[in-house]
Chains A and B, each alone.
Chain A
Amino acid sequence: MSMFKARVKEFEDLFAQDVIDLKQLRRHTFNGVPDVHSFRAISWKMLLGYLGSKRSSWPATLAKKRALYNQFIVELVLPPGHTQNGDGNDDGDGDNESRGVGLQDHPLSEGPESAWNTFFSDNEFLLQIDKDVRRLCPDISFFQQPTEYPCEIVVHSKGEHGRRLHERVVPSVLSSANVERKGLGMTKINLITKRSAENYAAMEEGQEAHWEVVQRILFIYAKLNPGQGYVQGMNEIVGPIYYVMASDPDLENRTYAEADCFFCFTALMSEIRDFFIKTLDDSEGGIKCMMSKLSNMLKAKDIGIYDHLKSQELHPQYYSFRWINLLLSQEFPLPDVLRIWDSVFSDEHRFDFLIKICCSMILIQREAILENDFASNVKLLQNYPPIDINVVLTHAVSLA
């Protein structure tokens, strides 16, 4: 316990400095951030470059970025022609103004300039996002819970449809009815109510679930990065970051979890973007290159196991594609993922350490792998057995 207290003390001292020593921060976070105060949220924000090392600069940075994010929501999320309060004040139904929509634009317009046309073409990738955020971290209930800090301009529909992104792609508001004629003019109408069986159901007016927030983050990211758009797996990258921001014990910060998460996610994506782009698969920094790095490291560390997997034709992409692509976020339970990311984010030579962790995961299972047949080995590596994550990390550190 005193070890734990000592680590907490380290972080307390570190964040008490006016100018935080980044090297020291990296050293501390590499060994794991204690689950107290806002330590992890602050550490990640700094390691990902969202916050600078000068503490006095934080309030201004945060205020600016959060305002910018709010602007993104207004411009990119709200439907064309939405009514917006004139001076950004939240209440009061004062003068309404419309955005980007004149008389010549309307929902059936196919003109390239039409805001409505864009609105409908966005729905294609929105549909994909919608499918994926509804299946984010299904083993914990967090993402299905309502957030305490819903986005006010979105959750109050003011009678408009489509402010909540999923409303655009899930036609659940339509109800159909079977009309049956029985005898003389007797009409029986069977209302079929659409049941949303999933637990990832949308919330009522004024509320929204965490997955809805994550959906908005991914949507805005895709809108702002049209060359890349949305790619499956991004949901698994944004998930842990959002979890950390949205469970920050500092309530002021938690209020802005969405905006802060967006910028941290964007920063992280700028480093791993190439993993998500098909045409860059073979380039340096692309996913295939990362997989060969792992393969080469394995070969150097343990030729026996490398040869064994090779003789079984068990190619690295069978397991390591997902490992690397998602920074191991699907291989371990969320608390372990957070711990892994502490180390991965603090790695100055980004992702060298990630490759080491992956290599250790294989080496730790050496005996089993050498004994198993092909099928059991694929299973083992695709469903990594429960393990104390510190064993893996300590092993990875030992790989020089």
Chain B
Amino acid sequence: MAKKTYDLLFKLLLIGDSGVGKTCILFRFSDDAFTSTFISTIGIDFKIKTVELRGKKIKLQIWDTAGQERFHTITTSYYRGAMGIMLVYDITNEKSFENIVKWLRNIDEHANEDVEKMILGNKCDMSDKRVVSKERGEAIAREHGIRFMETSAKSNTNIEGAFCELAEAILDKTSGRESAENTERVVIDRGNGDKAPGYNKCCA
């Protein structure tokens, strides 16, 4: 048996409309770089990054999916194994924001019930083209009891923070499960009093 170089393995999934910047977010997080000229993702892509949280080495296995409807039969088969899902829209694209509801329904249908979710409003560096206000993003997140952040892969805003927060939420749940096997599921932004919800770290 090979020696494990990590303590925990978390499987994350990035979903959202085509062109909202999922691949760029992942690339910024895993390689700390940005390029606007990514080929479109066909099917599913994959990256690994190890982070350290509360003294634990956590290996994040992140799946990046194609956004277009055609690929849903392929990509939804990945929902089941995911422990955390990042749902991305583009603040300069109204439609991608409206579709958040559709993506949430998809999660309900295909993912584990206790999957950790997070909504990201990406491209927040492009303030001159913004059409979705931060308040609307916060509102929809609050309505569904999900974490929310505005991010920019380009200006490297909140990318690391978003992944770490999602990982921490999963960690909370995992360690909770270790101590008491039969814990009830908690809605994230209400139950855990000791952890502030993530509404406060958005970019300016």
Residues of A within 8 A of B (CB): 128, 131-132, 135-138, 176, 192, 194, 197-200, 231-233, 235-236, 276-278, 281, 317-318, 321-322, 325-326, 330, 373, 375, 378-379, 382
Contact = CB atoms under 8 A, between A and B. Distances in A.
A330 B74 CA distance: 18
A346 B68 CA distance: 31
A379 B37 contact: no
B70 A318 contact: no
Given A131-B19, A375-B61, A321 B39 contact: no
Contacts of B38: 135, 138
Contact of B43 (A176, A325, A378): A325
Given A192-B128, A382-B45, A135 B39 contact: yes
A128 B128 CA distance: 22
B48 to A, nearest CB: 5
B71 interface: yes
Contacts of B66: 232
B70 A198 contact: no
Interface in B2-25: 2, 18-19
B68 A231 contact: yes
B73 A321 contact: no
B36 interface: yes
Nearest to B77: A317
B48 A379 contact: yes
A131 B40 contact: yes
A373 B2 CA distance: 9
A232 B71 contact: yes
Given A176-B128, A278-B69, A278-B73, A233 B61 contact: no
Contacts of B203: none
A258 to B, nearest CB: 22
Interface in B120-137: 128-129
Contacts of B77: 317
Contacts of A137: 39
B115 interface: no
Nearest to B23: A135
A132 B40 contact: yes
B42 interface: yes
A314 to B, nearest CB: 10
A200 B35 CA distance: 13
Nearest to A195: B128
26 contacts: A128-B18, A137-B39, A176-B128, A192-B128, A194-B128, A194-B129, A197-B36, A199-B37, A232-B67, A232-B68, A232-B71, A233-B42, A235-B40, A236-B39, A276-B70, A278-B70, A278-B72, A321-B42, A321-B43, A321-B44, A321-B74, A322-B42, A375-B46, A375-B61, A378-B46, A382-B45
Contacts of B35: 138
Q: Please provide the 4 A-B residue pairs with the shortest distance between their CB atoms, ordered closest to farther.
A: A138-B37, A321-B43, A131-B19, A322-B42
Contacts of A277: 70
Chain B, interface residues (CB within 8 Å), range: 20 to 34
B42 A236 contact: yes
A12 B70 CA distance: 43
Contacts of B70: 231-232, 276-278
A281 B39 contact: no
Interface string B64-91: 0011111111100100000000000000
Contacts of A199: 37
A183 B58 CA distance: 57
Looking at B37, B43, B74, the one whose CB has the most chain A CB atoms below 10 A away is B43
A318 to B, nearest CB: 7
B43 A322 contact: yes
A198 B34 CA distance: 13
A232 B18 contact: yes
Contact of B18 (A131, A278, A326, A375): A131
A192 B38 CA distance: 27
Nearest to A230: B68
Interface in B80-118: none
A322 to B, nearest CB: 5
A128 to B, nearest CB: 6
Contacts of A194: 128-129
A180 to B, nearest CB: 15
Contacts of B43: 317, 321-322, 325
Nearest to A378: B46
Given A136-B39, A322-B42, 15 more contacts: A131-B40, A135-B40, A197-B36, A200-B37, A231-B70, A232-B68, A233-B40, A276-B70, A278-B69, A278-B71, A281-B73, A317-B77, A321-B44, A378-B46, A382-B46
A198 B128 contact: no
Contacts of A379: 46, 48
A379 B63 CA distance: 11
Contacts of A138: 35, 37-39
Contacts of B18: 128, 131, 232
Contacts of A382: 45-46
A132 B46 CA distance: 20
Contacts of B45: 382
A232 B42 contact: yes
Given A128-B18, A138-B37, A194-B128, A325 B68 contact: no
Contact of A330 (B2, B39, B72, B128): B39
B46 A198 contact: no
Contacts of B19: 128, 131
Given A231-B68, A232-B66, A278-B72, A198 B42 contact: no
